[in-house]
Amino acid sequence: MDTTEWKWKTSDGLEIYSKAWLPSGKARGVVCLVHGVGEHIGRYQADGEAMAGAGYILAGFDLRGFGKSGGQRGHTPSIEVYFDDIDSFLVEIIQRYPNQPRFLYGHSMGAILVLAYTPLRQPVVAGVIATAPALKSALEEQKLKVFLSKVLGKVLPTLTLNSGIDNNMLSRDPKVAAEVDNDPLCHTLVSASWGKSMLRAVDLAFENAPRFPLPLLLMHGTKDEIAYPHSSQMFADLAPKDKLTLKMWDGFKHELHTDPEKADVFKVMIDWLDKH
């Protein structure tokens, strides 16, 4: 396995950091990763190793305002700008790894984004993996933050709020919370416009679920206290049954890919990739 890093510019001039994990031999396809809130692509080392070991390239980028990418921390001007950035990243992947089947893989915030993005932008990918999409979450219960996001997202879009995520809820592996706490590239900052944009993304995901156009592997831990598991079932009830594979992981927390039995999770993902 090898890794590579590069940077590219968004349509509005921000510098975006990207990283890929490469298999030793000929690649079977490229899995294009969109990460969760407050984190960055560098946290997906285990995913990269598992994918590369199975012959797949795992490639991802730090969303604007996160990790090593440019922009105000935790801010996006709109949901359309996030969609534009995913478009641009897929162009990067086509140029770097031509003639390879491509898949989208989103976790948490990234899972919301790929579920909302795919029916609207119709990307040329073979399928989508979404893990722990926060379609219903603890944030919804913080009524003041929801109100501020909706109102201030228009009048004070760059106002900074705290996401309020408890890192102890991420994984049953106790080392994970400590690693995130001590990771200088992780943060809890989000803007009012980010909140407004993500609320819109959730609405778009549910609205367009019946028209989801591609094979979808949707997975969620039953003990996820950050992104509520029943919301994945709600999405599954709306999505086309001939395209959907739903897998609920009993007892797992939010980050399926960092829980102690993550090897089992990667096996299900890789088996699904092999079939598609």
- pLDDT exceeds 80 at position 133: yes
- pLDDT exceeds 80 at position 149: no
Average model confidence (pLDDT) for the chain? 94
pTM for the model stands at 0.95
pLDDT of residue 143: 58
Domain count for the chain, please give it. Answer: 1
- pLDDT exceeds 80 at position 147: no
Neighbour order of strands in the sheet with 216-221: 2-9, 15-22, 56-61, 29-34, 102-107, 127-131, 216-221, 244-249
Q: Are 262 and 239 in contact (CB under 8 A)?
A: no
More reliable by pLDDT, 266 or 155: 266
Asked which of 5-14, 89-98, 146-155, 180-189 is least confident by mean pLDDT, the reply is: 146-155
pLDDT of residue 132: 98
Mean pLDDT of 225-230: 95
The residue to which tokens 């897998």 are assigned: 247
- pLDDT exceeds 70 at position 140: no
d(CA 151, CA 129): 32
Q: Are 131 and 107 in contact (CB under 8 A)?
A: yes
The residue to which tokens 């040329």 are assigned: 124
d(CA 197, CA 177): 27
pLDDT of residue 33: 98
Mean pLDDT of 155-168: 83
CATH number at residue 264: 3.40.50.1820
pLDDT in tens, 16-33: 999 999 999 999 999 999
Mean pLDDT of 194-217: 96
pLDDT of residue 153: 55
Could you give the residue ranges of the DSSP H alpha helices within 209-261? 229-238
Q: Which residue segment(s) compose the domain that 41 sits in?
A: 2-275
Phi/psi at 160 (nearest 5 deg)? -90, 135
pLDDT of residue 139: 66
Residue 163 pLDDT class (50, 70, 90 cuts) = confident
pLDDT of residue 157: 81
pLDDT of residue 39: 98
- Identify the three-state secondary structure at position 162: strand
Residue 34, strand partner residues: 61, 106
